[in-house]
Amino acid sequence: MIKEKCPLAGVKEPHRWKWQSNIRSAILFPFSLVSLLGMLILAVAMYYQFTGYIKNGATENATLLLEQAVVNLESYLSNMRRMSDAMYYDVIKSKDLAEESVDDEMNLMYESNKDELVSFALFDSSGELLSAAPNAVEKTGVSVRDQSWYRRAMSQVENLHFSNPHVENIFEDNSFRYYWVISLSRNVELTVDGVPRSGVLLVDMNYSTIEQMLSKVNRDNSQQYVYLCDRNGTMIYHPAMMQISTGMYEENNSVIPTYEDGVHNETFNGEKRIVVVDTVSYTGWKLVSVIPLNKIENSYAKARYTAFFLGSVVLLFMIILNQVISARVASPLIKLDESIKKIEAGNIRPDIYIGGPYEVAHLGRTLRDSFDQINRLMDDVVTEQEEKRKSELDALQSQINPHFLYNTLDSIVWMIEGQRYDDAVFMITQLASLFRISLSKGKTIVPLKDEFTHAENYMNIQKIRFKNQFAVKFDVPEEIGEYCTVKLILQPILENAIYYGVKDMDEEGEILVTACLEKESVVITVSDNGFGIPEDQVELLLTDDKRVRKHGSGVGLVNIHSRIRLRFGEAYGLRIESEPDEGTKVHITLPAVLYTEVNQKMLERGEYRKGGKANEE
């Protein structure tokens, strides 16, 4: 100890300082060179990053703008669909056209939406006009059977069809105006003299509504423009529509059908630009936002100056920092690092270096004290965690369901009062067996055959209580029953399958329990054909304690999952597969350990989870 304190007293101070000075030089010059190169790289990276931010910002703005425009456009088209649906399902399908007319309803629908509509019309399969609003006089020499919207509706009866913009050319207009429209046509079923026939319902939407909607988008944005084309690339709207039609302006709309929704980079007529594409629902139309890069390159100069300034400041700071670090902490830190490497190598009693500047010496003392404390605490934690694991397991298994017992006893009373003595005896027998297996003489580990018997007793009771609203099948090989399990894991899963899967189904629900051996594991699957669970909820069922269901026992899947993992380890537990309207499958994975007295006691003590191996005989 005296020798260690001599340098601090100044005996060998000149040599110590000279040695540190050499280390300082060895650190300072290479670090300064690296800092210089690093700052150059950083400046270049910052420049490209800033330009990337500008480009990405413009792209994100275009994407958001396009998404909002698509929402507005889809809302408008959806409104047109609702009007078509209302006219068809609420009016046309409810009337016999040989005795009743739909003129009043059609005129009322038109008057309520005339700012967005040009006309409503109903034709039969021969092309004869049955009703129209507001005009009911067809132009001479015009046959609707030659119209593309009519042919599509008659040939594809299951779909709604949106046409490209065209001049409305079916009805006479006393004002001699020409309306650009988009036709929404559909095949409808007409009833004439009680006989169903085919027809076509036509809704002519005012094209100017869409034109005004997209024109406003283009007016509000100077760095980009938006246009609309159909799924084949045919232009529906463009801010330079007239110039395109006269050949004075060109657009790259012919390649749009090959683009997926999202962001694309392209070069058209020698101009680099970013193209964002989004598909409009119901129609297949493509809404396209175009950002010419030459409109955002003016912001790049500012990015260059910013990158150079920040790079210079950081470089100066790094040089000063290298001076301080190399002079003050290089040597002590190297020695301290050697001590840490001993810890990393697995030395649980390392000789940690303490010396150098106060901060480094304090860090060494703190590290030494902390490591000693960690060693002491690790032993305590191991013991505490084992006790906590056992307590948690006992607490998890202590949850019972008084409501189930109450409802079952109430059902038994109801059967006795109704003189259904055989059913009451059966219910009491099943209930007695269920509670006998639940108690299991205080054991936590039971054979799987007892668990399956307990589950069958429970389902027999529930089938009577729910008046056979669902069917239950156990397809379990006999040899599976000889393996070990944590008790009371099947009943809560079956309970969830009833309450949240099949209880409220219109058709008969089905619950299937299967089991098989997979390598060194037993896999039990509980499946139902119920309503299923959304994907975002499935991910939380095994991780979120607060999502415990409120019906039934209140024992959630997190509970069961925790009990299995606490007893057998992280490799085992539950796995859930579910889709809405497709049903749910819950897979239970357990280690394939045969049920013997030795294995049962070993599992009760948690030795399997600690790394022990159960006997197979």
Please write down the HEC assignment for all residues of 530-553.
CCCCCHHHHCCCCCCHHHCCCCCC
Distance CA 525, CA 520 (A): 16
**Closest-CA residue to 121 (of 98, 147, 96):** 147
Distance CA 340, CA 55 (A): 46
Token readout for 330 is 């290089």
What one-character-per-residue DSSP string does 108-159 give? HHHHHTTTTEEEEEEEETTS-EEEEES---BPTT--GGGSHHHHHHHH-TTS
Token readout for 150 is 């009519």
Q: Which helix (H) or strand (E) holds 527?
A: strand 521-528
Distance CA 416, CA 51 (A): 82
In CATH, which superfamily holds the domain spanning 399-604?
A: Histidine kinase-like ATPase, C-terminal domain (3.30.565.10)
**Closest-CA residue to 521 (of 450, 587, 474):** 587
Residue 135 CA: distances (Å) to CA of 68, 100, 103, 210, 616: 35, 19, 11, 23, 88
Phi then psi dihedrals of residue 396, to 5 deg: -65, -35
Distance CA 366, CA 587 (A): 49
CA 546 to chain centre: 19
pLDDT tens for each residue of 177-228: 778 888 899 999 998 888 899 999 999 988 888 888 888 888 887 778 999 9
Distance CA 128, CA 144 (A): 8
Task: Count CB-CB contacts under 10 A for residue 405.
Answer: 13
What is the per-residue pLDDT for 506? 79
What is the per-residue pLDDT for 217? 87
The dihedral sign for the CA sequence 322, 324, 325, 326: positive
What is the per-residue pLDDT for 9? 36
Strand 445-447 and strand 286-292: pairing?
A: unpaired
The dihedral sign for the CA sequence 599, 600, 602, 603: positive
- Please enumerate in sequence order all residues whose Cβ is within 8 A of that of 566, keeping only pairs 6 or more positions apart, or say none: 389, 392, 393, 396, 609
Contact 287, 70 (CB under 8 A): yes
CA 212 to chain centre: 36
Domains of the chain, by residue range, sit at 95-209, 342-395, 399-604
Q: Which residue has the higher pLDDT, 462 or 34?
A: 462
**Closest-CA residue to 295 (of 55, 5, 615, 568):** 55
Question: What is the pTM assigned to this prediction?
Answer: 0.44
CA-only gyration radius of the chain, Å: 39
pLDDT tens for each residue of 399-455: 445 556 767 777 788 778 777 777 778 878 877 777 666 666 667 788 999 889 888
Number of H helices, E strands in the chain: 16, 18
Q: Which residue has the higher pLDDT, 367 or 156?
A: 156
Residue 29 pLDDT more than 90? no
What three-state secondary structure class fits 592? coil
What is the per-residue pLDDT for 1? 35
How long is the chain? 617
Q: Which residue has the higher pLDDT, 612 or 33?
A: 33
In CATH, which superfamily holds the domain spanning 95-209?
A: PAS domain (3.30.450.20)
**Closest-CA residue to 573 (of 368, 336, 396):** 396
pLDDT tens for each residue of 284-300: 899 999 988 877 766 66
Q: Which residue has the higher pLDDT, 329 or 165?
A: 165
**Closest-CA residue to 125 (of 170, 189, 81):** 189
Asked if residue 134 has a cis previous peptide bond (ω within 30° of 0), the answer is yes
Contact 157, 171 (CB under 8 A): no
What one-character-per-residue DSSP string does 397-425 give? HT---HHHHHHHHHHHHHHHHTT-HHHHH
- pLDDT band of residue 57 (cuts 50, 70, 90) is confident
What is the per-residue pLDDT for 4? 38
Distance CA 171, CA 132 (A): 9
Task: Count CB-CB contacts under 10 A for residue 407.
Answer: 14
Contact 107, 134 (CB under 8 A): yes
HSE on the CB side for 518, CA within 13 Å?
12
- Please indicate whether the domains covering 95-209 and 399-604 agree at the CATH topology level: no
Residue 53 CA: distances (Å) to CA of 59, 220, 301, 303, 515: 9, 22, 14, 10, 55
Contact 81, 302 (CB under 8 A): no
Q: Which residue has the higher pLDDT, 324 or 253?
A: 253
Residue 263 CA: distances (Å) to CA of 63, 260, 278, 291, 503: 8, 8, 9, 11, 47
Strand 235-237 and strand 195-206: pairing?
A: unpaired
pLDDT tens for each residue of 511-520: 999 999 998 8
**Closest-CA residue to 277 (of 291, 292, 288, 267):** 288
What three-state secondary structure class fits 593? coil
Rounded percentage of the chain residues whose pLDDT exceeds 90 = 15
Token readout for 418 is 């109704």
What is the per-residue pLDDT for 219? 85
pLDDT tens for each residue of 468-513: 888 999 999 999 999 999 888 898 899 888 888 888 887 888 999 9
Distance CA 444, CA 465 (A): 29
Contact 532, 584 (CB under 8 A): yes
Distance CA 57, CA 47 (A): 15
What three-state secondary structure class fits 88? helix
